[in-house]
Amino acid sequence: MDLEKYYWQRYRLFSRYDEGVLLDNESWFSVTPEKIAWHIAERFTCDVVVDAFAGAGGNTIQFARTCKHVVAIENNEKRLQLAMHNASIYQVENSVEFVLGDAFEMMQALAGIADAVFLSPPWGGPRYADEKLFDLSAMKPYSALFVVSRALELTPNVAILLPKTTTQKQILRFLKLNCSNAPDSCEVEYNYLGSRLKTITVYFGNLARDTFK
C-alpha cells in the first residue's frame, strides 16, 4: 500500500507527530484529522463518552480534552496499544479507559453510564475515496444502520463519521427508512480542511442541536 500521500498529511492527522506518534498502515488512512476530531469533540462536553472504534486514538485524544472520562474501545490489540501510546504523548491517558474487544459487546456494560457515543466504523480501506458514491449499507463488518441502531440503544446522543462521498440524500433516506429508533432531530455536517471536504458527521439527540453542555 502506498502511504506516501498520507505521510505528507501527518501533521494534519496529529500536530504532535514528531513527538513520537505511532500509526500502523490502516491508521494512516482511517484516523480523523486532528482539527476535525477537535471540532467534533467540542460538542461532546460530558462526563462519559464512548469512542466505539478508537483505532490509533485520534478522536479519543480530543474527547479526553472535553469530557471527564473516555471509554476507548478497539478490537485490534496492537492498534489499541498505539492509541494508548499516542494518548500519552498528548498527556490525556489518565482520562481514558482503554478496552480491548468488540464495540457492541463492550457497550452493553455501559448502559446507563455513557452520556454519548461516537462511531467511526471501518469504511473498507482507502479504496472508498475512489468511489463516486459510498454505499452506507455496504460498510463492513457493520453497516451504518447496525452501528447507529445499536448505539441509540445506549443513549440518544450519538454521532457517526462517514466518508465524504456519502450524499445527503442517501443519509436522509437511510435515517427515514431504516433508523426507526433514531431521535426526531439530526444534523448532517460537512467537515472541511481548507477548501477540501474530508468527512461527514451525522449527529443525533442533543448533539444535533449543539446543546450538549
Closest among 40, 78, 86, 27 to 61, alpha carbons compared: 86
The secondary structure of the chain as a DSSP string is ---HHHHTTHHHH-TTGGGT----HHHHHHSPPHHHHHHHHTT--SSEEEETT-TTSHHHHHHHHHSSEEEEEES-HHHHHHHHHHHHHTT-GGGEEEEES-HHHHHGGGTTT-SEEEE----SSGGGGG-SS--GGG-SSS-HHHHHHHHHTT-S-EEEEEETT--HHHHHHHHHHH-TTS-S-EEEEEEEETTEEEEEEEEEGGGTTT---
Q: Which pLDDT score, from 0 to 100, does residue 111 have? A: 85
Rounded to an integer, what is the distance from CA 55 to the centroid of its chain?
9
Rounded to an integer, what is the distance from CA 3 to the centroid of its chain?
21
Q: Which pLDDT score, from 0 to 100, does residue 181 have? A: 53
Distance, in Å, from the CA atom of 189 to the CA atom of 211, rounded to the nearest integer, reads 15
Amino acid residing at 158: V
Distance, in Å, from the CA atom of 44 to the CA atom of 125, rounded to the nearest integer, reads 27
Q: Which pLDDT score, from 0 to 100, does residue 184 have? A: 59
Contact of 174 with 145, CB cutoff 8 Å: yes
User: At which residue does the C-alpha cell 492527522 appear?
Assistant: 13
Q: How many CA atoms lie within 13 A of 126 on its CB side?
A: 12
Give the global pTM: 0.91
Q: Which domains does the chain have, with CATH numbers?
A: 4-207 (3.40.50.150)
Q: Which pLDDT score, from 0 to 100, does residue 149 have? A: 86
Q: Which pLDDT score, from 0 to 100, does residue 136 have? A: 77
Other CB atoms closer than 10 Å to residue 95's CB: what's the count?
17
pLDDT in tens, the chain (213 residues): 577 888 999 999 999 999 999 999 999 989 999 999 999 999 999 999 999 999 999 999 999 999 999 999 999 999 999 999 999 999 999 999 999 999 988 888 888 899 999 999 987 665 555 567 777 777 777 788 888 888 988 998 999 999 888 887 778 776 775 455 554 578 889 999 999 999 999 998 889 875 555
Contact of 54 with 78, CB cutoff 8 Å: no
Q: Which pLDDT score, from 0 to 100, does residue 185 have? A: 73
